[in-house]
Amino acid sequence: MLGSPHPTLSVPGQPASSNPAPSARAERFIRRPEVLSRTGISRSHLYWLMDRGRFPQSIPLSPRVTVWLESDVDAWIANQIPYTHPRVQP
């Protein structure tokens, strides 16, 4: 619609009228600096954990670009918080 403040974006293969639910979040790649910032661990510890299967594996996009899935990193962070921690109780 012309002049609409929020134009409707269509997804290839889907009708323009079917928008994803507002709570659905698109998956995204994050680079190493953001992974380190979110987790609070060092670069060497990140790779130590990955080598032992205790952290999600990275995804090589090219010879010089490596990423992680944001949802994998978020899930890892959530699993590090013990359920008995008093500040985390629902």
Each as own residue / partner, the long-range contacts of residues 71-78 (CB below 8 Å, 24 or more positions apart, any chain) are 71/27, 73/30, 73/35, 73/38, 73/39, 76/39, 77/38, 77/39
Average pLDDT over residues 70-90: 83
The gap from C-alpha 15 to its chain's centroid, in whole angstroms, comes to 27
Q: What angle do CA 65, 49, 63 make, to 5 degrees?
A: 15
The confidence score (pLDDT) of residue 87 equals: 72
At residue 23, does pLDDT exceed 80?
no
- Tell me the C-alpha distance between 43 and 57, whole Å: 14
72 against 86, higher pLDDT: 72
- pTM more than 0.85: no
The confidence score (pLDDT) of residue 85 equals: 74
